[in-house]
């Protein structure tokens, strides 16, 4: 009988940070697992480790799930989402024993450089979630990309280069690896290790956005107030929020489109205002649940404050 495994599509609905070991001795992550070939092999050969895989493509998640369930592997968990946000928002510091990236898209054009998974705060987040002595490993067919990622990683004070190999032998070959070798291309493996513990603490996990709400004492329609907030910005340190268009059903509920930024982490969602007899309930719209970051909480509390002031 196939072993059913969990696929997490909305990690923001989970209690964070995630328990990555799930009762085992170690935990590792593959970023961009494709059809799950490498992930399944590693899970089969290392059953004392819990293997996490994250992939943007929902179709890849489903294909990998079928592969892993056919093999009866219970030590795998699959996620759908952006790895940069997953590292930052879902994992506790020093929780992983290793991170693998096999043949990620290098986005070679300069105008697409920000799309590279290794851009921005990625090295810092990798360093934060790795244990002391743990590693980050990149395998790519593009030498310039391998060197760029390596240089960005070792620029972080907690990471050091441990290995650079051309055409290494590995116990499993993935679909892309076989393809590039058939084309006669060289392959490049780069490994960085975390040599000391990361200074500073973990981010503060605020809970789940869907659990947060505020009641505001007011009478009268809230719809007109929300319309006036279009383009209004709020700021608290590195956290920024901007209110956009509002949508009302001409009844008791109004949606307010909201954009937040926590550093380079952007989210778009809706705040919901529900008008009741004596007050208003302000909360995150349930069908657009974001990660509960300081900027999201600031946007929610800021809206509640605007509604309260308008009622005076």
26-31 β-sheet, strand order: 7-8, 76-80, 49-55, 26-31, 96-102, 130-140, 188-194, 159-166
Closest CA to 128 of 218, 74, 70, 196: 196
How far apart, in Å, are the Cα atoms of 12 and each of 81, 136, 193, 291, 296?
10, 25, 29, 5, 12
**More confident site: 289 or 311:** 289
User: What is the predicted pLDDT for the residue at 204?
Assistant: 66
pLDDT in tens, 54-65: 998 989 999 999
What b/e string do you get for 200-225 counting C-beta neighbours within 10 Å, with b at 16 or more?
Answer: eeebeeeebbbebebebebeeebbeb
CB-side exposure of 196: number of CA atoms within 13 Å?
7
User: What is the predicted pLDDT for the residue at 199?
Assistant: 66
Whole-model pTM: value is 0.81
User: What is the predicted pLDDT for the residue at 121?
Assistant: 82
pLDDT in tens, 194-222: 998 876 666 667 788 888 899 988 666 77
Radius of gyration of the chain (CA): 22
User: What is the predicted pLDDT for the residue at 1?
Assistant: 45
214 close to 282: Cβ distance less than 8 angstroms? yes
154 token code pair:
């070792």
Please count the residues of the chain.
312
How far apart, in Å, are the Cα atoms of 169 and each of 139, 177, 228?
12, 11, 62
Tokens 């450089």 sit on residue: 113
- Average of per-residue pLDDT across 84-88: 86
The dihedral built from the CA positions of residue 280, 295, 54 and 44, taken in this order, carries a sign that is negative
- Average of per-residue pLDDT across 256-274: 92
What domains can you pick out in the chain, each with its CATH number?
Answer: 7-194 (3.40.50.150), 209-310 (3.30.160)
pLDDT exceeds cutoff 60 at 146: yes
């Amino acid at each position: 009988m196939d072993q059913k495994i969990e696929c997490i599509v909305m990690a923001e609905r989970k209690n964070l940070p995630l328990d990555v070991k799930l009762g085992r001795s170690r935990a590792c992550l593959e970023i961009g697992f494709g059809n799950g070939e490498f992930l399944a092999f590693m899970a089969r050969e290392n059953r004392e480790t819990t293997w996490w895989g994250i992939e943007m493509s929902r179709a890849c998640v489903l294909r990998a799930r079928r592969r892993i369930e056919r093999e009866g592997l219970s030590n795998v968990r699959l996620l759908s989402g952006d790895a940069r946000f997953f590292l930052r928002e879902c994992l506790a510091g020093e929780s992983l024993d290793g991170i693998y990236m096999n043949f990620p898209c290098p986005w070679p054009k300069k105008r697409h450089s920000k799309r590279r998974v290794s851009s921005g705060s990625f090295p810092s987040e990798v360093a934060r979630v790795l244990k002391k002595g743990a590693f980050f490993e990149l395998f790519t067919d593009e030498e310039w990309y391998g060197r760029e990622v390596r240089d960005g990683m070792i620029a972080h004070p907690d990471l050091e280069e441990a290995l650079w190999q051309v055409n290494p032998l590995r116990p499993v070959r993935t679909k892309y690896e076989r393809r590039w070798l058939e084309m006669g291309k060289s392959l490049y493996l780069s490994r960085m290790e975390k040599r000391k513990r990361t200074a500073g603490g973990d981010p503060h996990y605020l809970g789940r956005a869907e659990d947060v709400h505020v009641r505001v004492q007011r009478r009268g329609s809230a719809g007109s107030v929300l319309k006036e907030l279009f383009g209004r910005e709020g700021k608290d340190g590195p956290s920024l929020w901007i209110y956009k268009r509002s949508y009302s059903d001409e009844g008791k509920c109004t949606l307010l489109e909201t954009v937040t930024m926590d550093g380079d982490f952007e989210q778009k969602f809706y705040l919901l205002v529900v008008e009741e007899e004596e007050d208003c309930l302000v909360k995150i719209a349930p069908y657009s649940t974001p990660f509960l970051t300081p900027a999201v909480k600031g946007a929610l509390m800021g809206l509640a404050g605007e509604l309260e002031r308008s009622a005076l």
